[in-house]
Structure 1
Amino acid sequence: MTVARSILLFLLAALAEIGGAWLVWQGWRESRGLIWIAAGVVALGLYGFVAAFQPDPNLGRILAAYGGIFVAGSLAWGMLVDKFRPDRYDLIGAAICLVGVAVIAYAPRSS
């Protein structure tokens, strides 16, 4: 249950951070206005809170593992929202990052 909860929290964090950055991008770069930017700032703030609910007490480990989720999630967001087509090197890189997530976050450790 702890691993499933952790994965869900990583996915929620990615949604908040990537979605927030996308909203800011849309507000500024695509001239959609301050409401989009403000919504992005709120989403980015929520991202910070989500990490606090991770079961591991080590922020450095959580952020390091989350980095791999961010990489893969960013490519997925681009595919779903912006119709970006990653090439094989993007996909290989994301897979390597996800292996890193598994090693950092879920490897058995001695106390």
Structure 2
Amino acid sequence: MAALTTQNIVDAGTAPTFVAAAASDTAEIGSGVNTYVHYKNTDSNAKTITITVPGNTSYGEPNPDPALTLPANTGELRIPLRKIYDPGDGTGRATLAVTGTGGVTGVTVAVVRLG
């Protein structure tokens, strides 16, 4: 598991730097409305990005973990990092997993905070 670095976007129009994704990464949530994770996929296989949502529903069942499809070849996905993804362990970091045929081959990621 890798702890991804958050990059701040400034008024001058900074472009984020992408790094190779790991099978499981963590990303800073920020305020819950100003930070997102941006995935790119150049592999010929689509991937699934799953976000761990801690805790239980009011019925005592585990909260569902969103599973989003990252398309193949030139696919991109931007996911807002919401407060509900905070594990409550003091880190303020969401856990994101990449799965699919070929694993993380061709998948890059950047965590971006809006200024």
Structure with more relative contact order (C-alpha pairs < 8 Å, separation 6 or more): 2
> Would you tell me which structure has more strand in proportion to its own residues?
2
Provide TM-score, normalisation by structure 2.
0.22
> Would you tell me which structure has more helix in proportion to its own residues?
1
Larger Rg: 1
